[in-house]
Amino acid sequence: MIIDNKIWIGKGEKEVFLLPEMANRHGLIAGATGTGKTTTLKVLAEGFSELGVPVFLADIKGDVASLAQKGEDSESVYKRVQDFNLQEFSFQSFSTEFWDVFAEYGLPVRTTISEMGPLLLSKLLGLNDVQTSVLTVIFKIADDHGLLLLDIKDLRAMLQFIYENAKDYESSYGKMSTASISAIMRSIVFLEEQGGELFFGEPALDINDWIQLDSDGKGIINILQGVKLFHNPTLYATFLLWMLSEVFEKLPEVGDVDKPKLVFFFDEAHLLFKDMPKPLVSKIEQVVKLIRSKGVGIYFITQAPSDIPDEVLNQLSNKIQHALRAYTPAEQKIIKAAAQSYRANESFNTEQVLTELGIGEALVSCLDEEGKPRVVERVSILPPQSYMGLLDESIRNRIINNSLLYNKYIEAVDRESAYEILTRKNEEQSRLVEEQQLKVEEVKVAEKAAKKAPAKKPTLFEKGMNSTITSIGREVGRQIARGILGGLK
């Protein structure tokens, strides 16, 4: 709910609000399973939407999609409405767009291999450092020769081409082990078996399509169907990191804003940093730090603050902490660290309260008007105005089919790219082979007749490679630049 142009989060001894002008200073929603993080997520998403701020979030358990459905009265909601004295509270649905990497429960979400870049693709494929360096060089060759890698077959064709001609690139790009190229190919096969190839292709997602308002001026809530995607944690994490990279590279600088241009909620945030190499963590930290100047707020949702690297956690200024459990010494240490991150409230012991919070209760500290953390407050979180439960699938289908973006994204497009270009070059080279064989036969006949050796001619390989590389070099006459996480600028 919005009160005096502020998002009302909850109420304890005091009412607690999130200020729109401080919302792009990022935030954290943490707590053990079943403590109310989903309710908090929905309350914040509804508040941002009412403010006219578009939202993106992933629906991991299938119970967030119901933001699109009007809420219904229940005993628990009625009690909370009475406790809060919510005289203006009313159930309502919110404008939504549904997205799905697998194109089953939403509009297809696609990007291209070239747009993702070698760094994130290496993480997705589970490559080691040597294989990652080889893949980076292969991307460099493709970029230098204007070979767009749009989908998996483009990448496979490029790998095959380099595998067969690796020695010809050593002087310019360094040695590339054919064993590493073979390992990359095997990783691609595994990715395809997991359905990951559906993520790559065109039309690629235009991030600006997520920054939209409805006819009433409310921010549209973009919901990614994450139930199936979550079964492949690496794909889920890589997708979110790619999306973060896209927003960072594509949106302009806006400086301080009275409210965010876009807000992201990254659920199960620990997966973003699991087995993450330190260089990539440093780049993510840099993106999180700088992206707020583009008017973007990022809210990580996880079980414990310790799931987030300290470098990133330090950037999260608006904190909502649900109950934590302390069954082991390690968990007690986590609780102590979490309590010390708040400005103490003299009316209670923060560390003790963290283990006593009930469902729907949280410790909350948001930034004040001067950008300073407020004293932590123990509050009950407001009830959502949308439906609590699973979305009626007829509502989902109606929203998808009536979307203004339906015709833009629903059908995949396969335009000419690396696969088609390299296939054509291979066909041309095969033709050269046939022509050279005919010439060889003609030479033999001439030798037999004239009894002398012919003049030295370029070898078949020299002709074929010179023709291929020269043609490829002419395909796209522009230089390709990559951003902080390796994606196309």
| pLDDT, tens digit (0-9, with 9 covering 90-100), for 134-161 | 999 999 999 998 899 999 999 999 999 9
Confidence bin at 275 (pLDDT 50/70/90):
confident
As a whole number of angstroms, the distance between CA 432 and CA 468 comes to 11
Q: Specify the pLDDT at position 477.
A: 45
Q: In whole angstroms, what is the distance from residue 238 CA to residue 101 CA? A: 12
- CA 86 to CA 84: how far, in whole Å? 5
Q: How many CB atoms lie within 10 A of CB 12?
A: 17
This prediction's pTM = 0.87
Q: Is the pLDDT of residue 80 over 50?
A: yes
Burial of 417 (0-12, 13-18, 19+ CB in 10 A): buried
Angstrom distance (rounded) from CA 358 to CA 295: 34
Helix runs in 107-264, H state only: 113-125, 129-144, 152-165, 170-173, 178-193, 233-250
The whole-number average pLDDT for the span 373-389 is 95
CATH, domain range 2-110+205-409: 3.40.50.300
DSSP assignment, residue 478? S
- Antiparallel, parallel or unpaired: β 55-59 and 262-266: parallel
223, pLDDT greater than 50: yes
Predicted local confidence at residue 470, as pLDDT: 47
Q: Considering the chain, what is the average pLDDT of its residues?
A: 89
Average pLDDT on 333-337 reads 90
Domain ranges for the chain: 2-110+205-409, 112-201+416-489
What's the pLDDT at 365?
A: 96
- pLDDT of 232 above 80: yes
Give the model's pLDDT for residue 193: 86
Q: Residue 435: pLDDT band by 50, 70, 90 thresholds?
A: confident
Task: Return the DSSP state at 488.
Answer: B
**Beta pairing partners, 221:** 55, 96
3-state secondary structure of 353: helix
What tokens were used for 359?
């469902």
Return the minimum-mean-pLDDT range out of 47-51, 342-346, 398-402: 342-346
Answer whether residue 282 shows pLDDT above 50.
Answer: yes
Does the pLDDT of residue 453 top 80, yes or no?
A: no
